[in-house]
Structure 1
Amino acid sequence: MTGRPGYEALAPFFRIVEEGLSGLVEGADFFDTLAEDVVFEYVVSVPGYPRRVVGREAVAELYRGYGETMVLHSSDELAVHRDREASVVVLEYAVHGLAVSTGRAYDNRFVSVITINDRKITHWRDYLDPTAVFDAVGWPTRGK
């Protein structure tokens, strides 16, 4: 979870990541588990979303507006795969919520490849199903 105001729409995401990384990272909240110079890469994403974000505060700023687009109500289907020698954890999980603009259901599956050093996340590579986002927000508009 995060104690920072304005991130309530992401609470189920924070919970499932916390569960998947339990005992592996330290920090008071999700953002505090990130190294100051963390690198996030969005390998499979949606148009207009950045492909690479560097720095804890830059990641926090990127996620700040999430609730204007999507509001999550749950997360599940967690699978955790660890490579202790490489300090890598792969999380597979699903999130569920609603698109703010359309009220449509949002159900997406993610694979996050996370590198941890000194109990902080130093690298995060994310893969998602972009069609789940398109369907929820109604893009592209059918018939146009």
Structure 2
Amino acid sequence: MSKTVGDNAPFGADSPFFRIIKKGLDGLVDGEDYFDLLAEDVVFEYVISVPGYPERVEGRQGIIDLYSGYGDYMRLHGADNLRIHRDPETSVVVLEYEVHGTSVRTGRPYDNRFVSVVTVKDRKVVHWRDYLDPVAVFDAAGWPQGRHA
């Protein structure tokens, strides 16, 4: 199975996204790239997202498929402002972070903030609940027409 996603492999070991997630989950998970961190039966929930994006995806392959075209839309060049909140009793980690890049289609900057609530079991992510700023996606994509960041 190929795990390369898009032309710039935004989820590979050298990607800003993977590095910030790996730092946030340091010592809790194993994996060579983002997808390796996920259990086969992982469940993702996108609580605050953008229209047309799924609310729930089940399974690592489902996540790989979902992100398969990511590099065709966004190029990430940085990730920062990581805040980590861990609850060792429940194996839940809350990650607050920002990603920075450029929309491939519009050339506009992409700067987004995330809150990811991650549950870990047996050194793999078993559940991921994501919250993002949809307006940041709209601004980078140039939607609606005429809206300027």
Same fold, TM-score > 0.5, yes or no: yes
Identity of paired residues, percent? 65
How many equivalent pairs are there? Answer: 141
Give the match for residue 70 of structure 1.
74
Instruction: Provide the C-alpha distance between the structure 2 equivalents of 1:13 and 1:39, rounded to a whole number of angstroms.
Output: 19
**Cα RMSD (Å) of the superposition?**
1.4
Moved over 2 A (4+): 3-9
Native 8 Å contact 2:16 2:77 kept in 1:
yes
Native 8 Å contact 1:9 1:71 kept in 2:
no
Superposition TM-score, scaled by structure 1 size: 0.93
1:106 to 88, 110, 128: 110
Instruction: Provide the C-alpha distance between the structure 2 equivalents of 1:38 and 1:68, rounded to a whole number of angstroms.
Output: 25
Alignment map for 1:43-62 (pairs within 5 Å) = 43-62=47-66
Instruction: Provide the C-alpha distance between the structure 2 equivalents of 1:34 and 1:5, rounded to a whole number of angstroms.
Output: 15
Instruction: Provide the C-alpha distance between the structure 2 equivalents of 1:133 and 1:26, rounded to a whole number of angstroms.
Output: 30
Give the match for residue 92 of structure 2.
88
SS at 1:123's partner residue?
Answer: strand
Give the match for residue 135 of structure 2.
131
Amino acid at match of 1:6: V
What's the CA shift string for 1:91-127, capped at 9, x where partnerless? 0000000011110000000000000011110000000
What's the CA shift string for 1:28-81, capped at 9, x where partnerless? 321111110000000000001111000001101111110111110000000000
Superposition TM-score, scaled by structure 2 size: 0.90
Instruction: Provide the C-alpha distance between the structure 1 equivalents of 2:133 and 2:34, rounded to a whole number of angstroms.
Output: 23
Instruction: Provide the C-alpha distance between the structure 1 equivalents of 2:72 and 2:79, rounded to a whole number of angstroms.
Output: 19
Structure 1: gaps of 5 or more residues: none
Give the match for residue 37 of structure 2.
33
